[in-house]
């Protein structure tokens, strides 16, 4: 098992890609700390992971709230002492409307969750990685964070920010042997995708569990030396030897 004994944090783990990553990482021997806004779905995931024999910490947490992220990080670090991998997955979609019609409150909520939340968690967990001289940060991106498209508003802007954040942090972490990469999982059959494309047939899309290989690669020792890169999960699936 490639993640045996590794301490891994996953945000937004109650559904979709976050839940799929938690289940896949558990199958590879990882110990998990998961969070999500909604306590009930999060507890369901925790129980499912425990049934698999996974050592798991589950804390309800809205990553857009700096105090909640601090409480989550303190719980994890007091229990484990450090983390090996941080997956910044939690995000909000926001409305699909033209920029000039974008509601100010919705803009603030999307940016607060997708950008500030990523910053809050990274700032809390990465210092322990730096002290140990190892670690991996994986930021979940999107194709609209690389090429702008109409009506993607704050979500697209937030993912462009995520790509820049990844590059800046990767450069800063080079002396500490902490890897930082981004992954665009591509179209998946999730509730968020359905909200963005309600007319789309989910059966025509990959399921979240089908895009987890690249995350395993980056979380494991297989990805040593890889940092500051932006991966496309579909490319990795079709040819795992292809690197960005």
Give the whole-angstrom CA distance, residue 86 versus residue 166. Answer: 13
CB-hemisphere CA count at 13 Å for 49? Answer: 30
* Catalytic annotation, pick one of 155, 197, 217, 236: 155
Choose among 93, 186, 114: nearest CA to 143: 186
Q: Are 176 and 130 in contact (CB under 8 A)?
A: yes
Residues 6+ apart with CB under 8 A from 211: 17, 20, 185, 186, 188, 233, 234, 237
Cα-based distances in Å from 21 to 30, 112, 141, 161, 170: 11, 23, 15, 23, 22
Query: Is-contact 145 184, C-beta < 8 A?
Result: yes
d(Cα 104, Cα 52) in Å, to the nearest integer?
43
Burial class (CB in 10 A: 0-12, 13-18, 19+), 129: buried
- 155 assigned to active site: yes
Bridge partners for 53 per DSSP: none
pLDDT tens-digit profile, the chain (244 residues): 899 999 999 999 999 999 999 999 999 999 999 999 999 999 999 999 999 999 999 999 999 999 999 999 999 999 999 999 999 999 999 999 999 999 999 999 999 999 999 999 999 999 999 999 999 999 999 999 999 999 999 999 999 999 999 999 999 999 999 999 999 998 777 788 888 778 877 777 788 899 999 999 999 999 999 999 999 998 876 666 555 4
Predicted TM-score (pTM) of the model is: 0.94
The alpha carbon torsion through 150, 144, 155, 180 (nearest 10 deg) reads -160
The C-alpha atoms of residue 224 and residue 197 are separated, in whole angstroms, by: 37
């Amino acid at each position: 098992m490639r993640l045996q004994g590794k301490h891994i944090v996953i945000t937004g783990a109650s559904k979709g890609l976050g839940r799929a990553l938690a289940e896949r990482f558990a199958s590879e021997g990882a110990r998990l700390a998961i969070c999500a806004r909604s306590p009930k779905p999060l507890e369901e995931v925790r129980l499912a992971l425990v049934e698999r024999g996974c050592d798991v910490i589950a804390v309800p947490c809205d990553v857009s709230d700096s105090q909640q992220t601090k409480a989550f990080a303190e719980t994890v670090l007091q229990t484990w002492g450090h983390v090996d991998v941080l997956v910044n997955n939690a995000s909000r979609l926001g409305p699909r409307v033209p920029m000039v019609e974008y509601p100010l409150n919705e803009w603030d909520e999307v940016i607060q969750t997708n950008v500030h939340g990523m910053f809050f968690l990274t700032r809390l967990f990465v210092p322990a990685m730096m002290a140990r001289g190892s670690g991996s940060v994986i930021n979940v991106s999107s194709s609209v964070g690389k090429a702008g498209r109409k009506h993607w508003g704050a979500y697209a802007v937030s993912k462009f920010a995520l790509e820049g954040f990844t590059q800046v942090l990767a450069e800063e972490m080079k002396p500490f042997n902490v890897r930082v990469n981004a992954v665009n999982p591509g179209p998946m059959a999730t509730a968020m995708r359905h909200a963005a494309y309600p007319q789309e047939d989910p059966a025509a899309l990959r399921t979240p569990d089908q895009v987890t290989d690249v995350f395993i690669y980056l979380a494991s020792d297989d990805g040593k030396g890889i940092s500051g890169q932006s991966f496309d999960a579909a490319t990795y699936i079709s040819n795992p030897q292809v690197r960005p």
